[in-house]
């Protein structure tokens, strides 16, 4: 698929999304480059306690085994939880697995992510939502942080009836919007689909990510503006190293600022508030 160009050229990062709050650090979809981006940005891997993997495409799962090695402090500590699709853990007729028995055995807990399931971990609610993608086991997630509130993530999916329902009341809705207006692609969302989903879900803020080449050529900022004007919901196009702070007000900045904050002490110091790092302009290959 031509859109795979974005991943292998790294025209946009494919490292996933980091969630940081007081109690828990979570990484979602540790795609190719996730290790390098995490280290370079000063976030590292050792503090992650929960790893979420939505499906078995390299732009979402490519670096997962090394994330597990980081989470377990180089395999010396048995700790951490993995919630991942069946394709990632066991494989299906088409794809996978991408995290083998050895890496699964290093963790405290491994949970198969099935649509409709709900899990909780240290006050964090994890709802698994449905996706329709070329990996038939692919899922989306709704994370409910005790302080910061709900964050929805569609993952790679086609539009289907009812897709927006799990994401109602989300503060932030992250939509994997691979294609621009008028250029649909099976198994993925285009800007027109994002409008339909945002109109029903009505989040506080919508974030478009996972851009394909066609999307990049059509200017993601312009596509986000179109979603915002069509729905009345604040909508942003993600960029590499984007940071979203979820306080009473939602603010965005670049991870480079976080990195600079982290430098003087000589070690990584993370802000006490929840931050979402959107370094995930990812594509299925
Ligand atoms: Zn993808
Ligand atoms: Zn995919």
Which tens digit of pLDDT belongs to each residue from 77-114?
999 999 999 999 999 999 999 999 999 999 999 999 99
Specify the residue for token string 């280290």.
39
For residue 139, the ligand closest to its alpha carbon is 2
The per-residue pLDDT for range 15-27, each reduced to its tens digit, is: 999 999 888 999 9
Residue 261 has pLDDT above 50, yes or no: no
Cα–Cα distance, 168 to 151 (Å, whole number): 10
Cα–Cα distance, 42 to 224 (Å, whole number): 29
For residue 177, the ligand closest to its alpha carbon is 1
Q: 58 C-alpha vs ligand 2 centroid, how far in Å?
A: 8
Cα–Cα distance, 81 to 260 (Å, whole number): 30
Per-residue model confidence (pLDDT) at position 12: 94
How sure is the predictor about 255, in pLDDT bands with cuts at 50, 70 and 90? confident
Q: 168 C-alpha vs ligand 2 centroid, how far in Å?
A: 23
- Over residues 106-129, the mean pLDDT reads 97
Residue 260 has pLDDT above 80, yes or no: no
- DSSP assignment of the chain equals -TTHHHHHHTSS-EEEEEEE-SS-EEEE---TTHHHHHHHTT--STT--EEEE--SSHHHHTTHHHHHHHHTTTTTS---EEEE-HHHHT--SSS---S-HHHHHTSSEEEE--TT-EEEETTEEEEEEE--SSSTT-EEEEEEETTTEEEEE--S----TTTTGGGTT-SEEEEEEEE-TT---TTSEEHHHHHHHHHHH--SEEEEE---HHHHHT-HHHHHHHHHHHHSSEEEE--TTEEEEESSSEEEEEHHHHHHHHSTTSS----SS-EEEEEE-----
Q: 228 C-alpha vs ligand 2 centroid, how far in Å?
A: 25
Domains and CATH numbers, the chain: 4-265 (3.60.15.10)
Q: 190 C-alpha vs ligand 1 centroid, how far in Å?
A: 13
**Average pLDDT of the chain?**
90
Output the six-digit token pair for 261: 């904050």
Residue 273 has pLDDT above 80, yes or no: no
pTM of the predicted model as reported, rounded to 2 decimal places: 0.91
Q: 109 C-alpha vs ligand 1 centroid, how far in Å?
A: 25
Q: 17 C-alpha vs ligand 2 centroid, how far in Å?
A: 15
Residue 191 has pLDDT above 90, yes or no: yes
Residue 257 has pLDDT above 70, yes or no: no
For residue 178, the ligand closest to its alpha carbon is 1
Cα–Cα distance, 275 to 25 (Å, whole number): 10
Give 18's contacts (C-beta < 8 A, 6+ positions apart): 25, 26, 27, 28, 38, 43, 48, 275, 276, 277, 279
């Amino acid at each position: 698929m031509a859109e795979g160009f974005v991943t292998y050229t790294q025209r946009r990062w494919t490292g996933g999304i980091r969630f940081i709050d007081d109690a828990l650090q979570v990484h979602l979809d540790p795609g190719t480059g996730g290790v390098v981006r995490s280290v370079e940005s000063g976030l590292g891997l050792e503090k992650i306690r929960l790893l979420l993997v939505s499906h078995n495409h390299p732009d979402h799962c490519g670096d997962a085994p090394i994330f597990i090695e980081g989470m377990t402090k180089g395999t010396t500590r048995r700790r951490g939880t993995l919630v991942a699709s069946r394709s990632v853990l066991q494989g299906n007729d088409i794809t996978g697995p991408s995290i083998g028995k050895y890496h699964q055995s290093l963790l405290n807990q491994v949970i198969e992510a099935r649509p409709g399931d709900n899990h909780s971990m240290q006050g964090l609610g994890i709802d698994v939502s449905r996706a329709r993608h070329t990996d038939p086991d692919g899922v989306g997630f709704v994370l409910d942080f005790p302080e910061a509130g709900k964050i929805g993530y569609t993952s790679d999916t086609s539009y289907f009836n009812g897709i927006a329902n799990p994401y109602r009341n989300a503060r932030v809705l992250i939509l994997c919007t691979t294609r621009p207006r008028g250029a649909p692609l099976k198994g993925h969302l285009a800007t027109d689909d994002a409008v339909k989903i945002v109109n029903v879900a009505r989040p506080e803020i919508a974030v478009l990510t996972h851009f394909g080449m066609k999307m990049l050529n059509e200017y993601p900022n312009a596509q986000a503006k179109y979603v915002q004007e069509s729905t009345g919901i604040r909508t942003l196009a993600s960029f590499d190293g984007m940071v979203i702070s979820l306080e009473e007000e939602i603010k965005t900045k670049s991870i480079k600022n976080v990195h600079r904050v982290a430098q003087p002490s000589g070690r990584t110091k993370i802000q006490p508030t929840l931050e979402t790092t959107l370094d995930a302009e990812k594509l299925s290959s």
